[in-house]
Each structure stands twice: as structure tokens, then as C-alpha cells.
Amino acid sequence: MKRFLSLALALTVALTGLDTSQAAPHNTKNRDFVEVASDGKGFTLNGEPYTIRGANYWQGMNLGADDCSGGDRDRLDKEMELLVKMGINNLRVMASSEGPDDQKQRMRPSLMYAPGEYNEGVFQGLDYLLDAMDRHGLTAVMTLNNYWQWSGGFAQYVAWIDKNQTAYPLPEGDQNWDTFTKYSARFYNDTEIYEEAQGMWKKHIETVITRRNTINGKIYRDDPVIMSWQLANEPQEGPDAWFEETSTFIKELAPKHLVSAGIEAKLDQFDFNRAHTPKNIDYTTCHLWVENWEIYDPSNKSSIVDAQIYADDYVHSRAQWATELNKPIIMEEFGMARDAWIKPDDEVFKYSPDTPTAHKDQYYKGIFDNIVSLAKKRQFSGSNFWAYAGLGRSTDYPNQYGMVWVADPPHEKRGWYSVYNTDTTVKVIEEYNSQLKALEEE
């Protein structure tokens, strides 16, 4: 869920279903909504401290669709069990994806294939996912848009308006990475299309927030399984007014839920504050991508040292920024490739599930140790690692673009950042989650 810094890397790398007679509410345990603690330091649930022991699971909506709509409910159910076993209590998922299904760089089938036109099978996949999460006691961060192309996102809205369907980075589109990012930014920076683009998007926001879940009959806006609505994945340098306006719009529709911006916080404190200052942005986020930002080289055994130094500083500085705003912070994306340094010239090796993850495990543990020590002082509220692939496997590493549901979006090489159920990383995550859980119970 991240951007590439260089072109070189970019290259390698119907509201139907309202028939309530079918909707039999589950007899789930009564639970409250996740809230921000009254002193602004962290979250609470049912009056108790709540830490985010999270994973990214963007593909959940598509996996939750039935067979006819390209899903795999059996796999999703099994993965829910595995996630709970790991101590996970929160999943960051997509609650949006846009555009026609003939674009290779995107997750597909998409939820909204044309403005206001929905693939009901995919929407029911989201229903199924939320219901499964409810049964397993998890909470959801619902991502409503994307600066990047892998779910359609900003560029698709812009393309719908100016009829330019070629807004894709190379090699599939006709544009380089810089051209693409400027194109995407028009979604909120081009005054000529601003109203129309935002209007189209707000209709989607309203549709999803007011939807009735076809599996359990709950209206999304009243469902405590949803912790937060997130404006977008990694909106880059958005205008202040956009964060303000959209967070207010969402809060009015879903007053019981939290709202978040979804920025990486990779730039400076000014950028961090711009996204997080509006009063309806309830908590702050950061993402950390050491390979994409050219701090870590997975083919170079010694570069892990730089990666860890960078990560230590990053976690602490962002925690400090959040403290100054008096809002909780979640590290809601970070990942690392497998041990490519063992065979630096072997491209397939880097992405294969059989390749060890010693660096990744060490790196995850370093981040987790930092978060736990800050969480003890109530200066950090948890994380979502990137990303859970669970039982997903490909027979074709590292090829991109096929819709194989591992945890790497289709524009990226399969297996790059996926965490499989069989990885040693799972133990590292389990151990960290148990430390956070212990803090909740103190």
C-alpha cells in the first residue's frame, strides 16, 4: 500500500440486498464502539484500554464474496481463525475499489465499476467479511479511497471526469510515475474538477456507511465491528480543507465511529499536522517503508542495520508528533522483503514463500519492541503489519497482475511483503500481541 520512489522500482516492481427477511442477526455478544480515551492517549473498548493488534487484510472484501463473484469464503473463515490465534484484534481493509475490471494494476472485480454502479457480489463480500470479523471479535478500519492505482482510487475518479482512461504508470499505462502521481493529485488539487470528483466520492461514502449488511441485517453506521472510517490510503499532501471537510462529512454520517486520514507521515511534522489537526480526525497514523524509501536493500546483508536505526527514530519521532497533537497513533503499515541477500541474483528467490525471513523477523521485532515500550507510557496504540496473506499462495512468483489473493496488491510483485501462515514471522507477531494484550489487562 505504498508508493515507489523511483521509476526503476516502479518498473520492477446497487444497493440491492435490502431484503431484510433474509437477514438473520447473529447472536453476537453485545459490545461498544471503540473510542478515544478521554485524555487523548490511546483507545478504549467497553471502558477498558484497547490496543491495536492489527494486520492489513485489504483483500478481505474480495475474499468474502461468494464463488460466483470471485471470492473464497472457506479460506476467509480459516484465516479468521488463524488471525485470532495470532492475537490479532483489528484488520485494516478496503471498503472501496473503483473502475472497470480490465485494468491489470488493480484488485478486481472492483466494488464500484462505474460511478454509482456497484458489483453487488463484491459488496456482499464486504458484508460477509464484517460479519466474520464480528463473530471473531475483531474491529475494522474501513478505507474509503486510495491515492495509488491498485484499487482504482483517486486516479479513477479523475479519469471518470476527464474521460482519460490511461492514467496508469508504466508499463501498463502510457505514463511515468511522476505523471501518474500528479494525475492522482488532481482529485483534490484541481479546482476545475474538485466539486464533481468529491461529489462522486461522497455518494460512495454515503452508500457504504448507510448500507444494510445482507448477512446480519446491521446498518454499517450502527455496527461496532467498524472502528474507523479512513479517508484514503496514503493521500499525499492533500489540502487542509479536504481533510477538514471530508472528516466532518463522515462524522455526520457515522457519529459513533472514529475517522482517520490514512497518511504515511513520511514527510515532516507540518504534513503530519495538516492531515491530523481537524477535530473530526480522531487519531493519527504512520506508515514505514524502508525498501521503497531506499534505506534498506534486501540483497545487501548489512543494510538491515540502517533499516533498524531508521525505524527506531521514525517510531519515536512520530509518537512525539502525535503526543503534541494529543491524539493516539497507530503504525498502520510496515513491511520487509524476504532474505534476498542469501541469493542476491535470484529474483524468484526473493519472493518465494520458502525463502527465510530472518531480517524481516528481526525488523518486525525491533518495531514491536519500540511500540510496546511506548505503549507502556501510553504514547503508542499499536500497529497493522503489511500484510496478511494467510493461506494464499501463488504458483508463479514474482509475477504481477494475476488476481491471486496473496497480500501484495496486483501492481506489485507477488510475495514481496506477504506474511504467510507458515512464516516464522507469525511467532514474532504472536509474542508482540501477547505483550500488548497484557498491557490492556494491567
Ligand X SMILES: *[C@@H]1O[C@H](CO)[C@@H](O)[C@H](O)[C@H]1NC(C)=O
Contact residues for ligand X (CB under 6 A)?
A: 164, 166, 175, 179, 183, 185, 189, 236-237, 239, 300, 302-303, 306
Q: Residue 370 and residue 368: Cα distance in Å, rounded?
A: 5
Q: Residue 411 and residue 120: Cα distance in Å, rounded?
A: 25
C-beta of 38 vs 302, nearer to ligand X = 302
Cβ atoms 390, 63 nearer than 8 A? no
Q: Residue 32 and residue 190: Cα distance in Å, rounded?
A: 40
Q: Residue 315 and residue 174: Cα distance in Å, rounded?
A: 37
User: Is beta strand 226-230 parallel, antiparallel or unpaired with respect to 112-114?
Assistant: unpaired
Please calculate the CA angle 195-257-79 and round it to the nearest 5 degrees: 105
Shortest separation between residue 255's beta carbon and ligand X, angstroms: 29
Peptide bond into 340 cis (omega under 30): no
C-beta of 209 vs 232, nearer to ligand X = 232
Helix (H) or strand (E) holding 332: strand 329-334
C-beta of 196 vs 206, nearer to ligand X = 196
What amino acid is encoded at 379 in this protein?
Q
Shortest separation between residue 128's beta carbon and ligand X, angstroms: 35
Nearest to 114, CA basis, from 73, 149, 160: 160
Burial class of 372 by CB neighbour count within 10 A (0 to 12, 13 to 18, 19+): middle
Nearest to 283, CA basis, from 325, 252, 237, 314: 325
Burial class of 105 by CB neighbour count within 10 A (0 to 12, 13 to 18, 19+): buried
Q: Residue 259 and residue 282: Cα distance in Å, rounded?
A: 6
Nearest to 229, CA basis, from 143, 340, 116: 143
- In the block, cell 497533537 appears at 325
C-beta of 82 vs 310, nearer to ligand X = 310
C-beta of 126 vs 275, nearer to ligand X = 275
C-beta of 242 vs 417, nearer to ligand X = 242
C-beta of 363 vs 432, nearer to ligand X = 363
Shortest separation between residue 204's beta carbon and ligand X, angstroms: 21
Shortest separation between residue 305's beta carbon and ligand X, angstroms: 6
C-beta of 243 vs 283, nearer to ligand X = 243
Shortest separation between residue 185's beta carbon and ligand X, angstroms: 4
Cβ atoms 132, 148 nearer than 8 A? no
Shortest separation between residue 196's beta carbon and ligand X, angstroms: 16
What amino acid is encoded at 2 in this protein?
K
Shortest separation between residue 307's beta carbon and ligand X, angstroms: 9
DSSP 211: P
C-beta of 41 vs 338, nearer to ligand X = 338
Shortest separation between residue 230's beta carbon and ligand X, angstroms: 18
C-beta of 35 vs 162, nearer to ligand X = 162
Cβ atoms 229, 93 nearer than 8 A? no
Shortest separation between residue 186's beta carbon and ligand X, angstroms: 8
Shortest separation between residue 260's beta carbon and ligand X, angstroms: 19
